[in-house]
Amino acid sequence: MVLPRTLSVDIYRAAEGGFWAKIRALPGCNTQGEDFIDLVDMINDAVFTYFDIPQKMRSGLGRYVPALSEEVSRKTDAENRHTAIEHAVTRMIKNKKTLAFNNIGLS
């Protein structure tokens, strides 16, 4: 089995708060999170569950992370980084864009 290097993910604000996401290339693969950081974890879990990968094998398969702007990537303070990510995602959702997620552990 070969995992995709990049995923296109449509992200939406949930009416009850938080976010939900649809992974475009994987039919029926949707997930949600209380905030964007939680959503990233849930996207990874959804993808590995979609491919029926056991929990014990997941750590060796890398992790999907959003391809965000340099401005967000350069933030070093965790609290500021979280805020910058939330703002970037809010702008992205407002503009109805799809966010790319790259697997940083695949060689």
Quick one: pLDDT at residue 51?
95
Instruction: Give the pLDDT band of residue 86 (cuts 50, 70, 90).
Output: confident
CB contact set of 4 (below 8 Å; sequence gap of 6+):
25, 103
Instruction: Give the pLDDT band of residue 106 (cuts 50, 70, 90).
Output: low
Interatomic CA distance for residues 72 and 89, integer angstroms:
11
For 45-78, write each residue's pLDDT tens digit.
999 999 999 999 988 888 898 876 555 555 545 5
Tell me the CA distances in angstroms from 9 to 21, 32, 66, one per residue in order: 6, 12, 9
Quick one: pLDDT at residue 91?
74
Interatomic CA distance for residues 33 and 15, integer angstroms:
12
For 9-40, write each residue's pLDDT tens digit.
999 888 999 899 999 999 999 999 998 889 99
Distance of CA 97 to the CA centre of its chain: 14
3-state DSSP call for residue 7?
Answer: strand
Interatomic CA distance for residues 97 and 47, integer angstroms:
20
